[in-house]
Amino acid sequence: MFVSLYRAGETPAQLVMYPGKDHDFLGEGLPDCRADAARRIVDWISRFIGQAAEPVREALTERERELY
């Protein structure tokens, strides 16, 4: 999906890689990686459907907030 969004050039996209993980990590990966990915997905969707992402941001750890 990242490559398609990037090539289209109309929607901001960010490639996030989790060391040692493949595409199955969302279902079978470490909980912290799955939680991070889920937060990023919800935040991204919230931005582009016009809903506030504050509830997601509030759930982030201090370190995660620094990355945004």
Rg (CA), the chain: 13
Query: What pLDDT band is residue 67 in, cutting at 50, 70 and 90?
Result: low
Q: Shortest CA distance to 43 belongs to which of 29, 64, 22, 21?
A: 64
- Residue 15 in tokens: 């490639």
Cβ contacts of 11 within 8 Å, gap of 6 or more: 5, 48
The length of the chain is 68
Q: Which of 16-20, 30-34, 59-63 has the lowest mean pLDDT?
A: 59-63
pLDDT in tens, 4-23: 878 887 777 888 888 887 77
Q: Is it the case that residue 53 has pLDDT exceeding 70? A: no
